[in-house]
Amino acid sequence: MKFPMKIRWAILCTTVALGISLSHAQIPDPDLPAAPSATKDATSKAPPAQQRQPGEGKSKPQTAPAPESTPAAQAETPSKASEQQAKSPSATDQESPDTSSESTTSARTDTQPGSSTAPTQGRNDVDESLTTIKRHVDEVNVVFTVTDKHGRYVRDLHRDDFKVVDDRKPAEQIRSFSSQTDLPLQVGLLIDASNSVRDRFKFEQESAIQFLNQTVRQRYDKAFVIGFDVTPEVTQDFTDNTESLSRGVRALRPGGGTAMYDALYYACRDKLAKVQQAGPVRRAIILLSDGEDNQSHVTREEAIEMAQRVEVIIYTISTNVSGMKHQGDKVLERIAEATGGRAFFPFQIRDVADAFAEIQDELRSQYAISYKPADFAADGRYRTIEILAQNHKGLHVRARRGYFAPSQ
């Protein structure tokens, strides 16, 4: 069938027009970028969601708007997910070295054999307690003196000349032994200033001053002075200045009752136990009294226990010159023997100076030994110490009688 020329021309024009219209319909709108460009811009340069969608952004500033229904919006969502997935490996690569480094360091620092699954804090607590046990439990230190049958000091003995018995069992190991003739001293001078010693007080003061002048070495030893009646009074704190110590002794004035046990307890707990020390020292108290106590709040045994815990040697000088041993003299003897010291009983008041001189000599004639006890238990109970001299006859060892084991 043949159409007339006019009809064929009209069909041709219509076909061309339709083709042009369809061609224009597939060209992207310049106001709406294609999906790939939109994805890149949205992830790298797009403003926050509330700025892109003002209406929703004001009401829900932390909530992203709902996806648009346009093809570009539908293309943007999977592109964001793809980009996040693409970014995640690089983020992992950047963070992984730090994380693994911390884990490795933590494992090297905190993990101990047999405790890999325990929390870090628990492992640290255990390690610290083990260190404490090793330092305080496994080793006992004792300072002692040795005299012959004439009472003269013996200073040339060796490690094999002694045997240590701890709690009635031989020590498991002797860890160190040395002759200590020149250790720094920390000395407390306790002078009874009660009414009972008033008549001989000045002579005792001068004897104590002479002792301090001959014993305390500047920049090496330290001493303090306490006078006591019903209460202890520090008239000179720790110093190496002998002039200051002398003034502290002369500042004492007799009067009142006697609280000797309280003064001992205070000197051990609040003075000697708290003073700083850079290395090994020898702690000692020289107690000048008649031994009578009528005002103390602590008992004699409590004062002795405190001295044993602080490892203080107590030397006592009795001011009783009656020629007969009184009950107070027995108390002084008990205190000295329990702490490894010595009790002096001058027959005359002028013999007090001789007692001070003997104490000075003994402080420079001692041995120090450290050992590991056998069958030790950190139960806080009292354990006895006995140091025996062997290979030589007629030797007498004087040391503290025991110590209190630490409690766990």
pLDDT at 378: 86
pLDDT at 211: 93
Domain with CATH 3.40.50.410 in the chain: 183-364
Beta 382-389 vs 282-289: how paired, if at all? Answer: unpaired
Residues 6+ apart with CB under 8 A from 235: 225, 226, 227, 247, 248, 249, 251, 252
Assign residue 375 a region (left: φ > 0; alpha: ψ between -120 and 50; beta: otherwise): left
Instruction: Return per-residue pLDDT of the chain as tens, 408 residues.
Output: 555 666 666 666 666 555 555 444 444 444 434 434 333 344 444 344 444 444 444 333 344 444 444 444 444 444 444 444 444 444 444 443 343 333 333 333 333 333 333 333 433 443 444 433 344 457 898 999 999 999 899 999 999 999 999 999 999 999 999 987 778 899 999 999 987 777 778 888 999 999 999 999 998 999 999 999 999 999 999 999 999 999 999 999 888 889 999 999 999 999 999 987 767 788 999 999 999 999 999 999 999 999 999 999 999 999 887 778 889 999 999 999 999 999 999 988 788 889 999 999 999 889 999 999 998 888 888 999 999 998 888 999 999 999 988 887
In this structure, are residues 143 and 180 in contact, taking their beta carbons and an 8 Å threshold? yes
pLDDT at 25: 47
Compute the distance between CA of residue 313 and CA of residue 143 in angstroms, rounded to an integer: 9
Q: State both tokens at 399.
A: 């040391």
Contacts 24+ apart (CB under 8 A), 24-32: 32/70, 32/72
pLDDT at 20: 52
Compute the distance between CA of residue 193 and CA of residue 211 in angstroms, rounded to an integer: 18
Q: State both tokens at 154.
A: 């013996």
In this structure, are residues 368 and 279 in contact, taking their beta carbons and an 8 Å threshold? no
pLDDT at 280: 77
Q: State both tokens at 119.
A: 């929390």
Q: Which amino acid is at 74?
A: Q
pLDDT at 9: 65
Contacts 24+ apart (CB under 8 A), 269-277: 269/306, 269/310, 271/188, 271/224, 271/226, 271/234, 271/238, 272/186, 272/188, 272/310, 272/312, 273/309, 273/310, 275/186, 275/222, 275/238, 277/184, 277/186
pTM (two decimals):
0.64
pLDDT at 164: 96
Residues 6+ apart with CB under 8 A from 201: 193, 252, 254
Q: Which amino acid is at 51?
A: Q
Compute the distance between CA of residue 408 and CA of residue 131 in angstroms, rounded to an integer: 13
In this structure, are residues 118 and 381 in contact, taking their beta carbons and an 8 Å threshold? no
Residue range 183-364 forms a domain whose CATH class is: alpha beta
Neighbours of 381 (CB within 10 A): 10
pLDDT at 84: 45
Closest by CA to 236, choosing from 193, 214, 246, is 246
Helix (H, G, I), strand (E, B) or coil at 319: coil
